[in-house]
Amino acid sequence: MAAAAPGAEDELQEEGGLATLTRDEQPKDIAAIHAVVTAAFGQPAEADLVDRLRADGDSAISLVAVDDSGIVGHVLFSKMSAPFRALALAPVSVMPERQNAGIGSRLIRAGLKRAATDGWEGVFVLGEPEYYRRFGFDAVLATGFTSPYAGAYFMALALNGGLPMKAGKLGHAQAFVDLR
């Protein structure tokens, strides 16, 4: 029997002759994702956070970048409480030896595309504005929202047009709350 065709959202990219596929996380990937996130951050805290978000049912979108060597990158979008359908982007991880080759950007763009397709209305992220600006994240757009993460590094991105509301109370998934 022929192998299953990639899903509609699966994307194959070439970079320096090295093919990288972006696809949904599968149950068999869990240990490899933990290893990639741990390697990217140099500690297991963020990888444990991914496991907890998944176990709690708060993971909405979890994508991996795969090449012949296995999983080389991962991104997770988790459910938030918000005045509209919103996701939090975090964490995003690329194997140290594969960083700065576009893998993180492709994972984020694929995740944002999926979020829009799935009807999510906005995405929030806490991170380096210099990095996240390129995807359309804007700190000014997040200023009306109440969150423990509010500040210059807290950004919002509107999917499918504009944010339905410019202000309101945000809550991250419990796994994030327990980190603080």
Please state, in angstroms and rounded to a whole number, the distance separating the CA atoms of residues 21 and 67. 6
E strands, 68-133, where?
Answer: 70-79, 86-94, 122-126
Of the candidates 105, 147, 104, 155, the one whose C-alpha atom is nearest the C-alpha of residue 126 is: 155
- If the CB atoms of residues 113 and 166 are measured against ligand COA, the closer one turns out to be 113
* Contact positions vs ligand COA (CB under 6 A): 40-41, 90-94, 99-105, 127-128, 130-131
Please state, in angstroms and rounded to a whole number, the distance separating the CA atoms of residues 171 and 162. 20
- If the CB atoms of residues 92 and 158 are measured against ligand COA, the closer one turns out to be 92
Task: Report the nearest approach of ligand COA to the CB of residue 161 (Å).
Answer: 26
**Judging by beta carbons within 10 Å of its beta carbon (0-12, 13-18, 19+), is residue 111 exposed, middle or buried?**
buried
Task: Report the nearest approach of ligand COA to the CB of residue 178 (Å).
Answer: 17
Please state, in angstroms and rounded to a whole number, the distance separating the CA atoms of residues 66 and 59. 20
- If the CB atoms of residues 99 and 143 are measured against ligand COA, the closer one turns out to be 99
Task: Report the nearest approach of ligand COA to the CB of residue 144 (Å).
Answer: 23
Task: Report the nearest approach of ligand COA to the CB of residue 48 (Å).
Answer: 14
- Any idea what DSSP says for residue 54? H
Which residue number places its CB atom closest to ligand COA?
104
- If the CB atoms of residues 4 and 97 are measured against ligand COA, the closer one turns out to be 97
